[in-house]
C-alpha cells in the first residue's frame, strides 16, 4: 500500500470512529458503517469516488486490521449524481 493510500485510509478511519463518538471500531461494527456512508453522501455531499475510498478504508480496517469478514452493505445511499470524470485531454483546438 502506498503512503498516500495509507494516509487517506487513516483519515477516513478516524472520521468513522469520530462519527460514532470515539468508540473503538469493534463496538460500532458493520451495522454502523451504512449510516456513516449514508451521512457522507446525503449531509456532506461527498462524491461517489470519495464514498468508494471511504468504504475501502473501512473494509481494510475490518478485514485486515480487526480480522473480521462480516460486512454486508446493501442499503448505502450513493452520490447518485452520475457525473463522469472530467477529461484531462486538451481540446482539439489547442493541439499543435
For CA atoms 20, 24, 25, 31, the dihedral sign is negative
Closest CA to 57 of 36, 79, 82, 27: 36
pLDDT (tens digit per residue) in 39-73: 998 999 999 899 999 989 988 888 888 887 665 55
Closest CA to 70 of 53, 58, 52: 58
Contact 58, 12 (CB under 8 A): yes
Q: What is the pLDDT of residue 72?
A: 59
Mean pLDDT, the chain, integer: 75
Contact 68, 62 (CB under 8 A): yes
CATH number of 3-65: 3.40.309.10, 3.40.50.1820, 1.10.150.130, 3.30.1490.20? 1.10.150.130
More reliable by pLDDT, 2 or 31: 2
Residues 6+ apart with CB under 8 A from 80: 41, 48
| pTM above threshold 0.85 | no
Amino acid at each position: 500500500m502506498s503512503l498516500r493510500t495509507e494516509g487517506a485510509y487513516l483519515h477516513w478511519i478516524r472520521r468513522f470512529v469520530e462519527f460514532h463518538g470515539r468508540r473503538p471500531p469493534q463496538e460500532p461494527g458493520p451495522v454502523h458503517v451504512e449510516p456513516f456512508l449514508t451521512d457522507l453522501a446525503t449531509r456532506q455531499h461527498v462524491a461517489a469516488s470519495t464514498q468508494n475510498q471511504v468504504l475501502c478504508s473501512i473494509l481494510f480496517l475490518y478485514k485486515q486490521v480487526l480480522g473480521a469478514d462480516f460486512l454486508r452493505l446493501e442499503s448505502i445511499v450513493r452520490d447518485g449524481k452520475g457525473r463522469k470524470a472530467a477529461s484531462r485531454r486538451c481540446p482539439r483546438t489547442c493541439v499543435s
